[in-house]
A and B are shown apart, each in its own frame.
Chain A
Amino acid sequence: MTLDTYYLGIDVGSVSTNLILMDENDIILKKLYLRTSGQPIRVLCEGLSILKEYIGENVSRIGSVGATGSGRRLAAVIAGADIVKNEITAHAVAAQKVVPGVRTIMEIGGQDSKIIFLKEGVVHDFAMNTVCAAGTGSFLDRQAERLGIPISEIGKFALRSKSPVRIAGRCAVFAESDMIHKQQAGYCLEDIICGLCEGLVRNYLNNLAKGREIHEPVMFQGGVAANIGIVHAFRKALQKEIIVPEYYDVMGAYGAALLAKEKMRSEKRAKTTAFKGFRAAENNYISRNLECCGCPNMCEVLEILSNGNVIARWGDKCGKWSFGI
């Protein structure tokens, strides 16, 4: 009996670590959306253990693995990856799979936000937030916490608003003081939250789209797409239909899995995956950082050990450490 081959996509982001398991027909079988909580290695191992329970011990069922997100190198070192790609490419691939012919992809993640423009099926232009993270998931997270509302409820609050107040969304710190000011002035919570959503959308469109024309179909993905308030604010600002895909929160991981599958297919001779197996999750990982004193650059070198063996080092400019394994 032959078993189906599965593909694994891993997206290690600043706020969430996502894993998805995809079958031969590009259908997502299992998705995991875990909070990174500042411990990507531990969360990644946790994710792998959950998948192991789902799939069983048989590692040979994993055809290939793709890694993306700001922690993509880390993921590749821990789990073993056949392809390591940046988030922009991964998101574009996944979005195109779900809505063929998509022209604009808006993605708002934990600490970065991006907009991707496609033309005739190819990424034509993209922009990422440059010097500021106002308006990203982390900020919404913090405001929800401050207001004592679960983050998942924020959107519902926004929808109940009758007349949203205007919140300055340009800077996270000023947005917060503006919100506090409006609170003290006696505005109701719903209107403030709705105003916040609109402020963030305004900020996003000003900073990223910068007046470029936004063509339909428009997709909205990333963790923040869960917030129905933001989705509505986008709809209102753009006067366009906004498509939120079913797996909006794990699109990066989905893209990575698609890329990994493609990579295996385009290889001329059959190659075995670099996947280290689910057992990798059981190893004892330690990371430590050291400051190199070899030159005045004083690079901070990070070293990752698995069961006492060094498996990766990075952070140096000259390659003395990263090549010396």
Chain B
Amino acid sequence: MKVTFPHMGNLYISAKVLFEELGIDYVIPPFTSKKTLEIGTRYVPECACLPLKITIGNLIEAQQLGADTVLMAGGCGPCRFGYYCEMYREILKDLNCNMDIITLEPPGAHISRLLQGIRKLLGGCNLYKMARAVKCFTRVVMEVDEIERLVFKIKPRELDKGGTDEIYKAFKKDALKVKGARQIIELVRETKNKLMKVKTDEKAKPLKIGIVGEIYSTIDSWTNMDIQSRLGAMGVESHRYVTISNWVIEHIIKKALKIPRDLSYEHAARPYLGKMIGGHALETIGNTVLYALRGYDGIIQVYPLTCMPEIVAESILPAVERNYDIPVLTLIIDEMTGEAGYITRIEAFVDLILRKKEKKVLDLGYILPGY
């Protein structure tokens, strides 16, 4: 059995650790590229959402490298994501790709199905081994997200342009070379040290933008055309509440262990949306409010075309925008999105919040009106 999984941002680093700790043979799909998307769009219905197209591409590319089993998380998701594993199964079957799909259903509703999945994966049900591997996985997920957070904090402040990117790139590459949780954590430690040594402008007060929106397209940097890195290059600090570790801890582990979850976003969203309506709509609205309260200068919402929960959130956001006086830019991505228009919008948005802030802070005489 050779297990593979779809890409999502830096998930491959933690997934690799999970498989290594469990002693399972695995294949990491080639990194998402234009070719991946081309394969995906060929076999996925046109109106399906973009993440499905990309991840199917990942799986087909992994199959060419010898993978025969797909490990997939969460079957009963409250948006189209809930049907991803069924879609994988059907599409791969139509293509005569003999791939077995193991879905790890979130515990709670279908605990028996979860155990069934684990048994299939491990060929037994060694709960101790499983718990240990999950612990390592969680630790690594958190560490990797911490690195990412640091990169987007340091990059806008760096003095030698490109220094942070180089460290980050090297980390992503080296993560493939090391084995097991211990070595990865060592690598994380080294990378953190390197990041801390990047020379930064102490006095810089970069603009701060919060990234909200659909989970896959905000986390996966290939999909969102490196939005956070681009913002960093423009000297803008960006932050995103929704991360892989946040999802794993809040939605899987805490739910499984029945620990109270951090629901601050839900409280923040309450005046606008009182109910979970699927996907990450509630997070999008709640986090926008939280960013506004934390003094962020602007919000960028990213979602793939036809993502229903985010469409609802988009139509609610103007109310938040008005009440908190925080500008919101919505970017919709699909396989046709042109890079030039995308960047123009980000650039113009950064200009907008920069001038707005300057006007708020001090009335500089020489600033052109409207600029």
Contact = CB atoms under 8 A, between A and B. Distances in A.
Q: Do A and B bind each other?
A: yes
Interface of A: 70, 85-89, 92-93, 95-97, 100, 102, 112, 118, 120-126, 128, 130-131, 212, 258-259, 262, 265-266, 295-299
A93 B371 contact: yes
A7 B36 CA distance: 47
A298 B369 contact: no
B371 A92 contact: yes
B350 to A, nearest CB: 9
Contacts of A122: 352, 355-356, 359, 370
B193 interface: no
A89 B30 contact: no
A141 to B, nearest CB: 20
Nearest to A114: B348
Interface string B7-40: 0000000000000000000000011011110000
Nearest to A71: B340
Nearest to A118: B370
A296 B332 contact: no
Given A86-B351, A295-B33, A296-B36, 16 more contacts: A70-B344, A93-B369, A96-B368, A96-B369, A96-B370, A102-B370, A121-B370, A122-B352, A122-B359, A123-B348, A123-B352, A128-B345, A130-B332, A259-B371, A265-B366, A296-B35
Contacts of B318: 212
Nearest to B340: A70
Given A86-B348, A126-B352, A262 B370 contact: no
Given A86-B347, A88-B348, A266-B366, A128 B341 contact: yes
A131 B370 contact: no
Given A86-B347, A86-B348, A122-B359, A298 B35 contact: yes
18 contacts: A70-B340, A86-B344, A88-B344, A88-B348, A89-B347, A92-B371, A93-B368, A97-B369, A100-B369, A118-B370, A122-B352, A122-B355, A123-B370, A124-B327, A258-B368, A265-B366, A296-B36, A298-B33
A2 to B, nearest CB: 24
B240 to A, nearest CB: 21
A96 B340 CA distance: 26
B30 A296 contact: yes
Contact of B359 (A70, A97, A121, A299): A121
Top 5 nearest A-B pairs (CB, nearest first) are A96-B370, A296-B33, A88-B348, A92-B370, A96-B369
Nearest to B328: A125
B327 A125 contact: yes
B336 interface: yes
User: B interface, how many residues as a size bin?
Assistant: 20 to 34
Interface of A is mostly: mixed
Given A89-B348, A123-B355, A131-B336, A296 B34 contact: yes
Nearest to B169: A318
B368 A259 contact: yes
Interface string B222-244: 00000000000000000000000
B78 to A, nearest CB: 26
A297 B371 contact: no
Contacts of A296: 30-31, 33-36
Contacts of B340: 70
B50 to A, nearest CB: 13
B357 to A, nearest CB: 10
Contacts of B369: 93, 96-97, 100, 121
A123 B34 contact: no
Interface string B274-295: 0000000000000000000000
Contacts of B336: 131
Nearest to A261: B368
Contacts of B351: 85-86, 88-89, 123
A93 B34 contact: no
A227 B207 CA distance: 40
Contacts of A70: 340, 344
A15 B51 CA distance: 34
Contacts of A92: 370-371
Nearest to B321: A125
A102 B370 CA distance: 9
Contact of A87 (B30, B36, B344, B368): B344
The listed residue with most A CB atoms (<10 A of its CB), out of B305, B368, B370, B371, is B370
A297 B34 contact: yes
A100 B368 CA distance: 11
Nearest to A100: B369
Nearest to B35: A296
Contact of B371 (A89, A102, A125, A299): A89
B371 A262 contact: yes
B341 A112 contact: yes
A118 B370 CA distance: 7
The listed residue with most A CB atoms (<10 A of its CB), out of B348, B359, B366, is B348
Contacts of B347: 85-86, 89
Interface string B328-344: 00001000100011001
A194 B351 CA distance: 37
Contacts of A297: 33-35
B322 to A, nearest CB: 10
B366 A262 contact: yes
A313 B345 CA distance: 22
A116 to B, nearest CB: 9
A49 to B, nearest CB: 27
B31 to A, nearest CB: 8
A117 B351 CA distance: 14
Given A97-B369, A121-B370, A265-B366, A126 B348 contact: yes
Contacts of B31: 296
Interface string B180-222: 0000000000000000000000000000000000000000000
Contacts of B348: 86-89, 123, 126
A95 B370 contact: yes
